[in-house]
A and B are shown apart, each in its own frame.
Chain A
């Protein structure tokens, strides 16, 4: 079965650079969630989209923005990167029929 695809899997950026993370949800899933997991931490909710509209917002810095496109894929744009942005970024998707969200394998972002 198709799963949530995230790209890239690994990304190394320098401070003050910009990064774009992509998420391709499971086909027919209309909701996408983004989570940030720092080293040794639990995942923290950043933002979610339902039918291409932002549905909820968590602890997402103003330097970050995200959107969901017409094909339901989503992109997380991160600007003016800081060392503290180094983390594992998960995307998850779900549909109204699902009780759970299905997670991608994550993008490991390292800011140096």
Chain B
């Protein structure tokens, strides 16, 4: 069974500052993928960033980067230069060989002006 744990139900950050969202996971598989999805008030699920487990290099997408620690089964998301539009629920998700996604409970991020 796969599990994903997000231990921070809510976080807040000031505009232009940096924030890190935590995620740990558990899986018995060697080949898997990790994702961060953003869900704004519109409830649309938007892919923020992906990481292949076999890649050691941390993924980066503009202001978003991850710290992937495979041995520790940790996958945190760093948002730099936070913007008001980053306010959303952020879900960490794991995809194994069966292709389905297992989500964490989510972290509600609020960016304050």
What is the interface of chain B mostly: helix, strand, loop, or mixed? strand
B interface bracket (residues with beta carbon within 8 Å of A): 20 to 34
A101 at the interface (CB under 8 A from B): yes
Q: Which of B46, B47, B98 contacts A56 (CB 8 A)?
A: B98
Shortest Cβ distance from B100 into A: residue: A45
What number of A residues sit within 8 Å (CB to CB) of B?
Answer: 26
Residues of B within 8 A of A35 (CB): 101
Top-7 shortest CB links A-B: A103-B45, A42-B103, A45-B100, A99-B33, A42-B105, A56-B98, A43-B103
A88 at the interface (CB under 8 A from B): yes
List 25 A–B pairs whose Cβ atoms lie within 8 Å, in order of A's numbering.
A33-B100, A42-B91, A42-B105, A43-B45, A43-B101, A44-B103, A45-B102, A48-B100, A56-B98, A56-B99, A56-B100, A58-B100, A90-B45, A92-B45, A92-B101, A94-B99, A100-B33, A100-B35, A100-B95, A101-B95, A103-B44, A105-B44, A106-B43, A106-B45, A108-B43
Of residues 56 through 113 on chain B, the ones whose CB sits less than 8 Å from some CB of chain A are 91, 95, 98-106
A33:B101 contact, CB within 8 angstroms = yes
Of residues 66 through 112 on chain A, the ones whose CB sits less than 8 Å from some CB of chain B are 88, 90, 92, 94, 99-103, 105-106, 108
Q: Which residues from chain B sit less than 8 Å from chain A, CB to CB? A: 33, 35, 37, 42-47, 50, 52, 91, 95, 98-106
